[in-house]
Amino acid sequence: SQTIHQWPATLVQPVGSPLSLECTVEGTSNPNLYWYRQAAGRGLQLLFYSIGIDQISSEVPQNLSASRPQDRQFILSSKKLLLSDSGFYLCAWSVNAQPQHFGDGTRLSIL
């Protein structure tokens, strides 16, 4: 069966520091991969999605970037975090476009 791993679970970072969140999927090949952010009391916002290695689509202009160096690895990065980057970050995978299945999430707090 397929599993998705996302880490770290929680992260506290100062403003202006870099960020790297990792997500890996096991048990499937060539999955579609997604990064979402969920602000408190809000719906999920799609940040990036990828349908293959080095193929990244960005949905929202921001100071975040994503990379997919391997088939089942998806990385969310930032060179300099802003206070507004705080939130709950979720990685997801799918075989076709839907439905999508989520990792445990990373709760990011910027100080």
Residue selected from 57, 63, 70, 84 as contacting other proteins according to rule CB under 8 A: 57
DSSP 97: S
44 touches other proteins (CB under 8 A) = yes
The pair of three-digit structure tokens given for residue 99, joined into one six-digit string: 């439905």
Rg for the chain, CA atoms, rounded = 13
Residue number with CB closer to other proteins (78 or 103): 103
Are the C-beta atoms of 4 and 91 separated by less than 8 Å? yes
96 touches other proteins (CB under 8 A) = yes
1 touches other proteins (CB under 8 A) = no
Query: Would you give the binding string for other proteins spanning residues 59-78, x where CB under 8 A is met?
Result: x-------------------
Query: Would you give the binding string for other proteins spanning residues 17-36, x where CB under 8 A is met?
Result: ---------------x-x--
**DSSP structure string for 27-96:** S-SS-EEEEEEE-TTS-EEEEEEEEETTEEEE-S-SSEEEEEEETTEEEEEESS--GGG-EEEEEEEESS
Residue number with CB closer to other proteins (23 or 110): 23
Q: Is 24 helix (H, G, I), strand (E, B) or coil?
A: strand
Shortest approach of other proteins to residue 49 CB, angstroms?
5
Residue selected from 90, 93, 108, 110 as contacting other proteins according to rule CB under 8 A: 90
